């Protein structure tokens, strides 16, 4: 019963399953997230109970973060706290289901905070099915007090998973390019933040053009483009040390980098004499091998989650289309055949879909298709939408959108793969090139 | 295209004429009347022109940029004529080294635009090499869509941004 997992060596977050008052029954509270425009599930998330002022403030903050995560997913609707008829203290003992039924809360979260003598925070929560009057889930976490936001995201992920049956995506980060200044003289800075825009910080100082950051699977490094020493090249950036390292010894421009799922390789494009080809570099040996060999532009490679295949774009057939090949460059197959240009393919972490940018008749679309090219669905269109990146659970896409005109405003947006729940992602200024991290493990 | 070349040669002649115009004028007067005279027309009053071999002269005589059609990197007749002028000027000043910067408009995806702008820079470079300019004098740099000169979102602006710009990076006079 006391299964304690070392959650993260850095954050020293521990989790324990809590015993249920009654055994977990078949859940009646359930969301089928494949269904598209679902009616959001009404969920009540009171402030977590804490005895001291500090504990109750933390309890309020944690409940707010959980609620924000769940509501932003588009699958939940928060029941107004002003309507609650049971206080957090008595709720921590036992919910009075009748009073929660009256305000139409279908799911209820109760929680308790205590700050230990060593300063660590203990967070306990339970998820209840209000109408069945049943316990659905209970866990206790112990964490450093400065990581309370992460605890809240972990709780939100657990609730999301219990109710949808799918992994969540809230305990994750976004790295992107922050842009400032006029359109013809932009300053570019790498920036990183939590998926809910909290803990925002800049990684570079704006002295060089930086583009296309991508997380390593372990989230400790990113690969990106830096226009440094008068050449655009792929660099590795260590998020812990902030050290930058040139990748490879290519005699020319390298760009569009991405890690392999095992983190041992980086695929990227190498341009020489106007010809762009895709290369794979082994990070242990630093040896590179060429995967494509065509006079056209071959670029934007992305691995399948098993690492066996690489999807990329090429204009070898005349205009940009999407192709798939083995990770060694063999067995190339074109998968997109629609009108217009298909670009920036990204393989879903679930493996079931490939997201892309499509340009057709002056409009920019974000869409998805199966890895064999069938089932194309366009989710977003407009003047300029580009560069989708997948949430860790493969249910949400983030991309960037630029406005027409002299200002060229650029912001991040997310949308469910069902085509619903488009949201602007808050950033301090203009933003582009988002990359979603894997879930923290 | 031929017209352009002739115009350029005339311009170069003009430049060299400027430096010695005084002497020539004196000689013409001293030889008196000559019925079969083929001398060039007298140069116009020389303005304080740009220094020979300078960036200003390059800009005036040749111009620094060529433009491309949407999603294309092939050189139009106009672009070839402009590069002919650049090649002639560069041939006259063999110490000059250049970087050709390729650019794209905002109507493409970033990765592709980087590759496309590299292809444009390479097309301009290859043309200059074919016209006798040593490859060792020419570097290329791809900017994609990151540095537009026109910030509007219309065809006129995009046409200005789809460009390859020859930047003098050394060996020129100031």
Select from B12, B149, B61 the least CA-distant residue to A185.
B149
Select from A265, A278, A23 the least CA-distant residue to A136.
A23
Task: Search chain B and give the residue with CA nearest A363.
Answer: B107
State the Cα–Cα distance between residues A358 and A381, nearest whole angstrom. Answer: 9
Please list every residue in chain B whose beta carbon sits closer than 8 Å to the beta carbon of residue A299: 111-112, 114-115
Q: CA of B109 to nearest chain A CA: how many angstroms apart?
A: 7
Q: Tell whether A330 is within 8 A of chain B (Cβ).
A: no
Test A297 with B116 for CB contact under 8 angstroms.
yes
Confidence at residue A92, expressed as pLDDT on a 0 to 100 scale: 86
Superfamily of B50-170 according to CATH: OmpA-like domain (3.30.1330.60)
Pick the CATH number of A173-436 from 2.120.10.30, 1.20.1250.20, 3.40.190.10, 3.40.50.150: 2.120.10.30
The residues, ordered by sequence, that sit 6+ positions from A369 with a Cβ below 8 Å of its Cβ are: A322, A335, A336, A353, A354, A356, A375, A376, A377
Complex ipTM: 0.90
Please list every residue in chain A whose beta carbon sits closer than 8 Å to the beta carbon of residue B115: 255, 269, 271, 276, 297, 299
Confidence at residue B97, expressed as pLDDT on a 0 to 100 scale: 98
Among partner residues A255, A273, A341, which is closest to B122 by beta-carbon distance?
A273
Q: Where are the domains of chain A?
A: 5-164, 173-436
Q: Tell whether A232 is within 8 A of chain B (Cβ).
A: yes
Confidence at residue A24, expressed as pLDDT on a 0 to 100 scale: 46
Spans of chain A below 70 pLDDT: 1-15, 19-28, 33-37, 441
Whether A5-164 shares its CATH topology with A173-436 is answered no
Confidence at residue B41, expressed as pLDDT on a 0 to 100 scale: 64
Q: Tell whether A101 is within 8 A of chain B (Cβ).
A: no
Q: CA of B150 to nearest chain A CA: how many angstroms apart?
A: 7
Q: CA of A185 to nearest chain B CA: how many angstroms apart?
A: 7
Confidence at residue B13, expressed as pLDDT on a 0 to 100 scale: 43
State the Cα–Cα distance between residues A294 and A230, nearest whole angstrom. Answer: 27
Confidence at residue A27, expressed as pLDDT on a 0 to 100 scale: 47
Chain centroid to CA B110: how far?
A: 28
Confidence at residue A287, expressed as pLDDT on a 0 to 100 scale: 95
Q: Tell whether B109 is within 8 A of chain A (Cβ).
A: yes
Q: Please say if the pLDDT value at position B7 is more than 60.
A: no
Percent of chain B having pLDDT more than 90?
Answer: 71
Confidence at residue B70, expressed as pLDDT on a 0 to 100 scale: 96
- Mutation site for B-interface testing, chosen from A186, A251, A254, A274 by largest number of B Cβ within 10 Å: A274
Confidence at residue B45, expressed as pLDDT on a 0 to 100 scale: 58
Confidence at residue B170, expressed as pLDDT on a 0 to 100 scale: 96
Q: Tell whether A186 is within 8 A of chain B (Cβ).
A: yes
Q: Tell whether A184 is within 8 A of chain B (Cβ).
A: yes
Q: How would you write A146-160 as a 3-class SS string?
A: HHHHHHHHHHHHHHH
Confidence at residue A33, expressed as pLDDT on a 0 to 100 scale: 63
Q: Please say if the pLDDT value at position B154 is more than 60.
A: yes
Confidence at residue A3, expressed as pLDDT on a 0 to 100 scale: 33
With a threshold of 0.95, does the pTM exceed it? no
CATH class of the domain whose range is A5-164: alpha beta
Report the SS3 class of residue A394: coil
Q: Tell whether B169 is within 8 A of chain A (Cβ).
A: no
- Contact between A155 and A139 under an 8 Å Cβ cutoff? The reply is yes
At B28, list the tokens: 């013409």
Please list every residue in chain A whose beta carbon sits closer than 8 Å to the beta carbon of residue B116: 297
Q: What is the pLDDT of residues B70-122, one digit of tens each?
A: 999 999 999 999 999 999 999 999 999 999 999 999 999 999 999 999 999 99
B22 — pLDDT class (breaks 50, 70, 90): very low
Q: Where are the domains of chain B?
A: 50-170
Among partner residues B107, B118, B148, which is closest to A184 by beta-carbon distance?
B148
Test B111 with A406 for CB contact under 8 angstroms.
no
Instruction: Give me the mean pLDDT over the B31-35 stretch.
Output: 47
**Got the DSSP string for B107-146?**
SS-HHHHHHHHHHHHHHHHHHHHHTT--GGGEEEEE-TTS
């Amino acid at each position: 019963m006391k299964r304690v997992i070392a959650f993260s060596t850095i954050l020293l977050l521990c989790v324990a399953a809590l015993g249920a008052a009654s055994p977990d029954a078949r859940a009646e509270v359930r969301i089928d997230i494949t269904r598209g425009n679902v009616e959001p599930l009404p969920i009540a998330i009171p402030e977590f109970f804490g005895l001291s002022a500090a504990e109750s403030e933390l309890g309020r903050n944690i409940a707010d973060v959980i609620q924000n995560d769940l509501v932003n997913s588009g699958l939940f609707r928060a029941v107004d706290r002003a309507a609650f008829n049971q206080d957090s203290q008595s709720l921590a003992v036992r919910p009075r289901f009748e009073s929660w039924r009256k305000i139409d809360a279908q799911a209820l979260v109760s929680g308790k905070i205590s700050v230990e003598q060593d300063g660590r925070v203990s967070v306990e929560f339970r998820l209840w099915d209000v109408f069945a009057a049943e316990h659905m889930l209970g866990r206790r976490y112990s964490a450093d007090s400065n990581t309370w936001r992460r605890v809240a995201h972990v709780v939100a992920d657990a609730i999301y998973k219990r109710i949808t049956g799918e992994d969540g995506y809230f305990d994750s980060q976004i790295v992107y390019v922050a842009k400032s200044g006029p359109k013809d003289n932009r300053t570019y800075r790498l920036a990183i933040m939590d998926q809910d825009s909290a803990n925002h910080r800049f990684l570079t100082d704006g002295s060089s053009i930086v583009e296309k950051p991508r997380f390593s699977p372990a989230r400790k490094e990113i690969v990106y483009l830096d226009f440094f020493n008068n050449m655009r090249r792929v660099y590795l950036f260590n998020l812990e040390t902030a050290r930058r390292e040139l990748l490879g010894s290519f005699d020319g421009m390298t760009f569009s980098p991405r890690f392999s799922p095992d983190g041992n390789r980086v695929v990227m494009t190498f341009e020489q004499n106007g010809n762009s080809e895709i290369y794979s570099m082994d990070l242990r040996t630093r040896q590179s091998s060429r995967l494509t060999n065509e006079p056209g532009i071959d670029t934007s490679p992305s691995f399948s989650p098993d690492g066996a295949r690489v999807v990329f774009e090429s204009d070898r057939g005349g205009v940009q289309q999407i192709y798939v090949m083995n990770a060694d460059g063999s067995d190339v197959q074109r998968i997109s055949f629609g009108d217009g240009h298909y670009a920036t393919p990204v393989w879903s972490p679930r493996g079931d879909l490939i997201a892309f940018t499509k340009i057709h008749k002056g409009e920019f679309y974000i869409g998805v298709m199966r890895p064999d090219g069938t089932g194309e669905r366009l989710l977003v269109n407009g003047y300029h939408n580009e560069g989708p990146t997948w949430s860790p659970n493969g249910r949400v896409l983030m991309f960037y959108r630029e406005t027409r005109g002299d200002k060229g405003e650029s912001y991040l947006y997310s949308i469910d793969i069902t085509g619903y729940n488009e949201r602007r992602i808050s950033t301090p200024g203009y933003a582009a090139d988002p990359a979603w991290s894997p879930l923290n493990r | 295209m031929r017209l352009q070349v002739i115009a350029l040669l005339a311009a170069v002649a003009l430049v060299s004429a400027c430096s010695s115009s005084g002497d020539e004028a004196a000689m013409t007067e001293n030889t008196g009347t000559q019925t079969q005279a083929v001398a060039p027309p007298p140069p116009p009053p020389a303005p304080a022109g740009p220094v020979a071999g300078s960036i200003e002269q390059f800009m005036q005589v040749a111009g620094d940029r060529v433009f491309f059609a949407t999603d294309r990197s092939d050189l139009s007749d106009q672009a070839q004529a402009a590069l002919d002028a650049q090649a002639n000027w560069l041939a006259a000043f063999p110490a000059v080294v250049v970087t050709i910067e390729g650019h794209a408009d905002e109507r493409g995806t970033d990765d592709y635009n980087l590759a496309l702008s590299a292809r444009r820079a390479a097309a301009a470079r290859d043309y200059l090499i074919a016209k006798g300019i040593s490859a060792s004098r020419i570097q290329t740099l791809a900017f994609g869509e990151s540095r537009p000169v026109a910030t509007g979102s219309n065809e006129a602006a995009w046409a200005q941004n789809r460009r390859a710009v020859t930047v003098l990076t050394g060996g020129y006079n100031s």
